[in-house]
Amino acid sequence: MLTIGELSRATGVKIPTIRYYEQMGLMAAAERSEGNQRRYESRDRERLSFIRHARDLGFTIEAIRELLELSAHPERPCADADQIAVRQLEIVRDKIAKLRPLEKELERITARCHGDHIKDCYVLQSLANHDLCASEH
């Protein structure tokens, strides 16, 4: 059995986040010791590691809930999980597409900043005046 602190250290998930996942129903409520201390088993550590990895990949709480539900039914088709992952991939690709123009504009702004003093700083000037931007972002 693991305490919440041990579970946190083992998974790299902060204690308040573990409590949050319990409140959200992603983790079952922990068993309690006689002293009312939360106690977790190895399956809880595995589940929390799954959740953390999914969060690292940007999956929403709802998508993780769906994936966890699927994992509880090993006889179901893998296509259901694939569909959730494909949906997440589309979201990530959309974010990347939106970030590319920001990257180009930031490169342009920082390349133009050669002022020795703040009064001549192109970064600050461009942030204050959107008309100095090369494109809409």
The better pLDDT of the pair 18, 114 is held by 18
pLDDT score, position 119 = 86
Domain assignment present for 34: yes
Instruction: Identify the CA nearest to 47 among candidates 24, 73, 23, 21.
Output: 21
Domain assignment present for 19: yes
Domain of residue 39 covers 1-61
Residue 96 has pLDDT above 90, yes or no: yes
Digit-coded pLDDT (tens) for 26-84 = 999 888 988 888 999 999 999 999 999 999 999 999 999 999 999 999 999 999 999 99
pLDDT score, position 70 = 96
Residue 64 has, within 13 A of its CA and on its CB side, a CA count of: 20
pLDDT score, position 83 = 97
Domain assignment present for 73: no
pTM: 0.80
Whole-number Å distance between alpha carbons of 130 and 137: 10
**What is the count of structural domains for the chain?**
1
Which CATH number covers residue 53?
1.10.1660.10
Domain assignment present for 67: no
Domain assignment present for 25: yes
pLDDT score, position 134 = 86
Domain assignment present for 39: yes
